[in-house]
Amino acid sequence: MSVEIRSAAASDLPAMMVLVRELAEYERLSHIVIATEASFEAALFGERPTAEALVAIADGEMVGYAIYFQNFSTFVGRAGIYLEDLYVRPKRRGAGIGKNLLSRVAQITVERQCQRLEWVVLDWNEPSIQFYKSLGAEPLDEWTIYRMAPEAIAKLAGA
């Protein structure tokens, strides 16, 4: 099986949304998905893109994707890459597709002279944790992620 890893195109969005929903189901988070093809198009291909995406194509079918964006470390004084999603369809796992997607993101990180490549993983997702560790990734157990929902953001903003 040959797999093509390439930058996503707007024409990929319908298939990407199917995979996004599969990922949400796997992560038991389907109930919070509000993303649409239109919101992805604006984020990835709009006037001011906020993220980038790679897709994995095997036998004419999209079988995986990676979505990432640039962040910044004040301690390092340099940009980094944050991997928002890395997903490969279950029936295609174990064939190196996830590693190839992540390897391409790492290449982009190097090309842009970024100093970090970071992401989060659910604490119960042992297969992914082991996969990431096998590639040399290390957990940052001393950090806790905080998130504000739109209502809390609006309240803090004084709206």
pLDDT in tens, 84-98: 999 999 999 999 999
Helix (H, G, I), strand (E, B) or coil at 154: helix
C-beta separation of 87 from 19 below 8 A: yes
Report the C-alpha gap between 86 and 101 in whole angstroms: 8
Q: What is the pLDDT of residue 31?
A: 96
What amino acid positions are annotated as catalytic residues? Answer: 132
pLDDT in tens, 50-68: 999 999 999 999 999 999 9
Confidence band for 1, pLDDT divided at 50, 70 and 90: confident
Domain range for 62 is 3-157
Q: To 10 degrees, the CA torsion angle through 78, 128, 30, 86? A: 40
C-beta separation of 97 from 64 below 8 A: yes
Provide the CATH number for the domain around residue 46. 3.40.630.30
Q: Report how many domains make up the chain.
A: 1
pTM for the full predicted model: 0.93
Report the C-alpha gap between 83 and 87 in whole angstroms: 11
